[in-house]
Amino acid sequence: MTAPQYAKTVTDVPSKIVNAEEVFRPVWVYVVGNSTVYVGNSTVTTANGFPLVKHSAPIQGSLGPGQDLWAVTGSGVTEEIRIFTMPAD
């Protein structure tokens, strides 16, 4: 099975990049541009989020049932990311 890929634009306003599902699943995030993107829960900030940067392999994480993933950039920054997830059966 191939993981679906989609693009999202992330700004300095936290936004949901992966919706919650009812099952555990892996998620990969890749930063396209040269800025840092911070990921976490709905309260993600540049201070508490996990930083992702370009030129690293897609970062793999896992989301449990009912968990979603959010992202934000630094002030005044807009960044493009790619997301790969395994869909629920």
User: What's the pLDDT band for 59 if we cut at 50, 70, 90?
Assistant: confident
Cα–Cα–Cα angle for 7, 4, 55, rounded to 5 degrees: 55
Report the half-sphere exposure of 82 (CA within 13 A, side-chain side): 13
The pLDDT score that the predictor gives to residue 1 is 46
Helix (H, G, I), strand (E, B) or coil at 14: coil
Helix (H, G, I), strand (E, B) or coil at 41: coil
Per-residue pLDDT tens over the stretch 1-54: 455 688 999 999 999 999 998 888 899 999 998 999 999 999 999 999 999 998
The pLDDT score that the predictor gives to residue 85 is 85
Sheet holding 79-85, edge to edge: 5-10, 79-85, 25-31, 59-63
